[in-house]
Amino acid sequence: MDLQLTTKRLTLRPLLMSDVGLVIEMFTDQKIMKYAGGAIPEEKIDEEMALYIRRGAKGCVGVWCICDRANGEALGTVALLPLPIDQDDTDWEQLIEDQLPDGEIEIGYFLRRPAWGKGFATEAGERLLRFAFEDTSLKEVVAVIESENKSSRRVLEKIGFVSTGTRRAYGETLPGFSITSDVYRVKHP
């Protein structure tokens, strides 16, 4: 299965160890991480980078690097990962080569600040949903946000997610969203 995905403006490719600079830039930035638990120390990112590139379900679950098709510049990341319920981070041990993780799969995205406001999160999210529902056996993808994160709510709504009310995730009660493969297929025949 080809895990390199393209859109009009973007290439999504599996995250690599060589993307550590991008991850450090985003995850140490307090503004980028405002709604994701706060900035992470660079040392922790260095220690955990091998987890961030881990993939499951024959590569169908994991993190993709969002790159500008025109110049190859890394703009951010988009992911399909197991949704943690009572933990405050992804359970990376659920990513096993040949099997889909148990439980719900969430979509998530981070962009470098220069890439904000240009529709990249929407474009990358749409493409990853198409992959999820056309190339994998996933029947539903979920998402959670901090209630103040209006930008992320708009992205989710643009790509077809609907509110499911509050739910438990990341050890908190957060606004939840969902889209099923059936709903996706109705909107994208």
Rounded distance between C-alpha atoms, residue 69 and residue 108, angstroms:
21
pTM of the model: 0.96
Residue 142 vs residues 4, 82, 157, 176: alpha-carbon distances, Å: 22, 10, 12, 7
- 38 CB-near residues (< 8 Å, 6+ apart): 30
Question: pLDDT tens string for the chain (189 positions)?
Answer: 789 999 999 999 999 999 999 999 999 999 999 999 999 999 999 999 999 999 999 999 999 999 999 999 999 999 999 999 999 999 999 999 999 999 999 999 999 999 999 999 999 999 999 999 999 999 999 999 999 999 999 999 999 999 999 999 999 999 999 999 999 999 888
